[in-house]
Homo-oligomer: A and B are copies of this chain.
């Protein structure tokens, strides 16, 4: 029942936010009583944190393959490093485009707006490793760029994929579509790849 509650809660919290979602709704949708939440998680906040950890685990799982691409960064050449960066960014973009990711992606975007303890768990459990891995890859791609500039560069590249979720409504307006389907997804992913190549292939200095 704990798992069932967490699954339902991620959906509710993702849709309506922490305050918008009610424990009664979550319990009802899970087919149990509200007091189960108190019993299993100690309360609404405990359930929320459990959701954050569950999401972190899911992301880690999904990005396990990507994470392997960041191993031995110092032992590969520039071409390979660029190719791996492109693969990781594309994976991230796919996640941002995937309907299944909608609820927990919204969960994370909300947390970024007003970080709580939950963000810390998301960061440590899922994001930190990936970000540090990409930073190491970029060190190979742009060895002469100062560390801070390189990290800024990294976040801006991620921003291209993030906008697909965080700015979804605007992206749809721009493309003149109601939602991002297969065709739009392919187009956006290809464009991200093109842009990222342009950004990374630039100054080798």
B151 touches A111 (CB 8 A): no
Is there contact, CB below 8 Å, between B163 and A155?
yes
Least Cβ distance of A13 to chain B in Å?
Answer: 11
Copies in the complex: 2
Main secondary structure of the interface of A (DSSP, over half): helix
A158 touches B163 (CB 8 A): yes
Contacts of A18 on B, CB cut-off 8 Å?
A: 20
Contact at A192–B156, with CB atoms within 8 Å? yes
Q: Within the assembled complex, what's the spacing in Å between the Cα atoms of A152 and B187?
A: 8
Q: Is A49 an interface residue (CB 8 A)?
A: no
Known interface pairs A113-B106, A199-B199; A174-B159 also in contact (CB < 8 Å): no
Q: Note all chain B residues with C-beta closer than 8 A to A202.
A: 194, 198
Query: Which listed residue, B15, B114, B153, B191, touches A15 by the CB 8 Å rule?
Result: B114
The yes or no answer to A35 lying at the interface (CB within 8 A) is no
A175 to nearest B CB, angstroms? 6
Interface residues of A in 133-190 (CB under 8 A from B): 135, 148-149, 151-164, 166-171, 173-176, 184, 187-188
Mask for A92-130, Cβ within 8 A of B = 1, else 0? 000000000000001001111111000100010001100
Q: Which residues of B contact A170 (CB under 8 A)?
A: 112, 123, 127, 131, 155, 158
Q: Which residues of B have CB within 8 Å of A162?
A: 159, 162-163, 166-167
Contact of A195 with B by CB under 8 A: yes
Closest chain-B Cβ to A96's Cβ sits at a distance in Å of: 10
Residue of B nearest to A21 (CB): B19
Is A40 an interface residue, CB under 8 A from the partner? no
Query: Do A158 and B167 touch (CB < 8 A)?
Result: yes
A-B CB contact pairs (8 Å), 8 listed = A149-B191, A156-B188, A157-B195, A158-B163, A163-B163, A166-B167, A194-B202, A199-B199
